[in-house]
Structure 1
Amino acid sequence: MLETEDELAALQDLLDSSHATSTEHLRGIINDERTLTARDLAALLTGMKVLSVATVTARGEPRISALDGHFLHATWTFSTSGTAAKAKHLQSRPAVSVAHIDNEELAAFSHGQAVTMHERDPDWDETLAHWTAHYGSSPLTWGDDIRFYRLQPHWMVGYAWKRSELLAKRGIAP
């Protein structure tokens, strides 16, 4: 968990405002007993998580693919080859939807902008070190044009079917 208190507070504000402005249908499913907090998400989303990332083609058609994601500093980071279709979509149309779903137990849904990360970014070294430690090699060695993205979310909700049981099962204090 790399999140600072300020990052957790900002994420909690985003979660609260996203939930409050969601449809009645969504609030009926993700009710108060099933809503994950910022601290819950930061504790639950450690390590690599498979993300479903939806981009949009030039013709406005949605495309979804699976990517490795790492939740760092209260948002997702993900990577792909610059030759991938999703990289081309993101270069022209950075709007993205990102979901991590762990069976019926846990889900995190977000919408926002995919921001391309660069070596000059203040969290570049830490992000690259995290990814390198996880995989045992630098992702930058995996191809000629490896791109990293950080999700800048404008909407996010966290869900747990049985929040208390999930947190207890995973050794996280509520």
Structure 2
Amino acid sequence: MRETPEEVVALQDLLDRSHARATEHLRAIITAERRLTAEDVVALMTGMKVLSLATVTASGEPRISAVDGHFLHGTWTFSTSGSAAKARHLRQRPAVSVAHVDNEELALFSHGRAEELRAGDPAHEEMVAHWTAHYGQSPLEFGPDVRLYRLRAEWMVGYAWQRAELLRSRHVTA
């Protein structure tokens, strides 16, 4: 957990605003007892999580792929090769949707903009250090043109089918 108290408050505000403007259908599924709080999200999204990342082609066609995601400072970070189609999509159309779904137990859905992090940016350096500690090598060594991104989330909702049981089973105190 690398979130500051201020980042947890900002994440909770984002989660509350997102749920409030969600459709009636979504709010009927993600009820109060199934909603994840910012503290829940921060505690549950530790380590590497497989993300489904949705981008859009130049002709408006959706594309989805899987990326390694790490939740840092209240949002997702992820990477890809600069030669990947998704890197081209992100460069030209940075609007994305990101989802982490863990069976039917847990899900975190986000929409926003992907921001490429570049060398010299403190967030880039922290991300490289975090990923290096996790993988045992720098993510910049994964290939010849690795791009690092942070999601600037504009909408995010967290869901747990049986929230209290999930938190207990994963040793998260509510």
Bucket of the pairwise TM-score, normalised by the shorter protein:
over 0.9
Q: Which runs of 4+ in 1 moved over 2 A?
A: none
Once the 2 structures are TM-superposed, how far is the Cα of residue 139 of structure 1 from its aligned partner? 1.1
| Structure 2 letter corresponding to 1:90 | L
Q: Determine the structure 2 residue equivalent to 1:3.
A: 3
Counterpart position of 1:41: 41
C-alpha distance in structure 1 between counterparts of 2:155 and 2:50, whole Å = 19
Partner of 1:166: 166
TM-superposition CA deviations, 1:127-165 (whole Å, max 9, x none): 111101111111111211100000000000000000000
Q: CA deviation at 1:126?
A: 1.5
Deviation at 1:125, TM superposition (A): 1.7
CA deviation after TM superposition for structure 1 residue 77, in Å: 0.1
Question: Unaligned stretches of 5+ in structure 1?
Answer: none
Runs of 5+ consecutive residues of structure 2 not aligned to the other structure: none
Matched AA of 2:92: S
SS of 1:67's equivalent in the other structure is strand
1:110 corresponds in structure 2 to 110
Residue aligning to 2:147: 147
| SS in structure 1 of the partner of residue 122 of structure 2 | coil
Which stretch shifts more, 139-148 or 12-21?
Answer: 139-148
Matching residue of 2:157? 157
Give TM-score, length-normalised by structure 2.
0.99
Q: Which AA in structure 1 matches 2:113? A: Q
TM-score using structure 1 length = 0.99
Identity of aligned residues (%): 68
In the alignment, the residues of structure 1 paired with residue 143 and residue 22 of structure 2 have an alpha-carbon distance, to the nearest angstrom, of 40
Structure 1 CA distance for aligned equivalents of residues 113 and 123 of structure 2: 17
- Distance in 2, matches of 1:152 and 1:164, equals 29
Which amino acid letter does the alignment assign opposite residue 171 of structure 2? G
What's the RMSD between the two structures over aligned residues? 0.6
1:98 maps onto 2:72 in alignment = no
In structure 1, the partner of 2:55 is 55
